[in-house]
Amino acid sequence: MKSKFTIIIFTLVSALSLSYASANELPDLGDVSATVMSPLQEQAIAEQILREVAVSDDVLQDVEVTDYLQALGARLVANGPDKRQKFTFFVVKDNTINAFAMPGGVIGVHTGLILAANSESEVASVLGHEIGHVTQHHLARMLASQKYDTLKNIAGLALALLVARSNPQLASGAMTTVGAAGVQNQLDYTREHEREADRIGLQILNSGGFDVRAMPAFFNTLQRGSRFSEGSAPSFLRTHPLTSERIADVTNRVEQMPYRQVADSVEFQYVRAKLRATYGVPETVIAVFEQNIREHRYSNEAAEHYGLAVALLRKGAFPQLEQELAWLKKNAPPHAMIESLSARVEVARNNPQQAAKKYAAALERYPDNRALIYGYAEHFLAMNQTKDAVRLILGKQSLYPDDPYFYDLLAKAYTMQNQVLLSHQAQSEAYYRKYDLARAVEQMDLAAKANDGDFYQKSIVEARLKQLRQMLGDEKKPKS
């Protein structure tokens, strides 16, 4: 059964999925799109959506998976037509094959798509396609053909996403009212937009060093998926219609490009193995990994052993888990995901000294790895070593200044130390990075009213509170 978040996202994407013109040169949208939806308006809608993404239970909050997807997306964007557009990639916990782009460069990918892909280049081909939808301003084209007040309706769609958690019926009703007519009116253009996004995606794939043949290969994966879903097409096909003409167009373009064999990255193999190990009954998952290893059915043996180890940790089967870690240490090249797993095993076994040693050693080798930083900080907090936690977070925070979880960890550490001002200040900065200005102001106001803190700290808090209140006032003004 689909999550409420996924259903509402799907309806939103259905209302925004549109098209292109198949000329040899990409059309110049000029001022038409800009006058219908300004960058500020797109940014405002994106932040409304990201506010929900930050707290949704349906979004995968696994930093290793997220960092992999963000790095893959950044590589593709760097080879795309618009390097100034900011993009944010996130993963939805859903076993259906789907991905979607929204205003402001927000792109979501279902876990089911990553697992269904036969190669990293196939995942890259989908991301390239979605990047194409964003860079070619397909939403702006739709708005250009409708009344100006349609923008209010699109904003309403994004806002409906935000109320989904508390009132899904209301959100779904808003989606239906706002989106149905627009979707029906735009069906004639959908194929054109898909072809344009395909074309942009192929250019990005080729420039990024991926296998362009992955795009038609993924089309075949989608077609196979539609045959095994009792007559209903995969979610990706419902928002990205796949026709024989579209397949032929992509195939013809690919045949004119140079052949390139591209090996999957180790990160892709490990991320897929981790996702496979994370969902389902642990015993069943373990049996599948063991059978694959026994019968040599894998593309990367180390990744298969890594996935087995993750599944064994879920079950708490430590003796066998130790065997798998020993195999990885002996046979697999060093990797941060293996080191993180090894440290997490010591935490699960309630062996704090060994956990600390492993985290410290791993961070020496991989000093900017967020999963290791998170894990070590969480370990310090669990051991009530708050000074060590604060020292670690502050020492690493400059690497990820926009990461709200660093501030969440700081807030927890300061709370444990009974430092009221610093705790509220950190929590405020966390909310700010989750695009929740109202709560950011509320927490910074509590920091300003705290009875502790020195003159310097109070001055910083008061200045920041003034800045946040100004931002909140600007946020409530109509975007133009």
Q: What confidence tens digit (pLDDT) does each residue in 70-110 have?
A: 999 999 999 999 888 999 999 999 888 888 888 789 999 99
281 within a domain of the structure (yes/no): no
Residue 433's contacts (CB-CB under 8 Å, 6 or more residues apart) are 402, 403, 404, 407
428 within a domain of the structure (yes/no): yes
Q: What is the pTM of this model?
A: 0.85
Residues of the domain holding 229: 4-255
Selected residue with higher pLDDT from 230 and 162: 230
114 within a domain of the structure (yes/no): yes
What pLDDT digit, counting tens, does each position of 40-76 carry? 877 887 888 888 888 888 899 999 999 999 999 999 9
295 within a domain of the structure (yes/no): no
Among residues 205, 233, 255, the one where a domain terminates is 255
Number of domains in the chain: 2
65 within a domain of the structure (yes/no): yes
231 within a domain of the structure (yes/no): yes
Tell me what percent of the residues of the chain surpass a pLDDT of 90: 62
- Please give the pLDDT value at position 236: 66
342 pLDDT band, cuts 50/70/90, is very high
337 within a domain of the structure (yes/no): no
- Cα distance between residue 373 and residue 392, in whole Å: 8
283 within a domain of the structure (yes/no): no
CATH of the domain at 460: 1.25.40
Among residues 205, 232, 255, the one where a domain terminates is 255
- Please give the pLDDT value at position 245: 81
Among residues 255, 290, 308, the one where a domain terminates is 255
347 pLDDT band, cuts 50/70/90, is very high
What pLDDT digit, counting tens, does each position of 227-278 carry? 444 445 566 666 666 777 888 899 999 999 988 899 999 999 999 999 999 9
- Please give the pLDDT value at position 438: 95
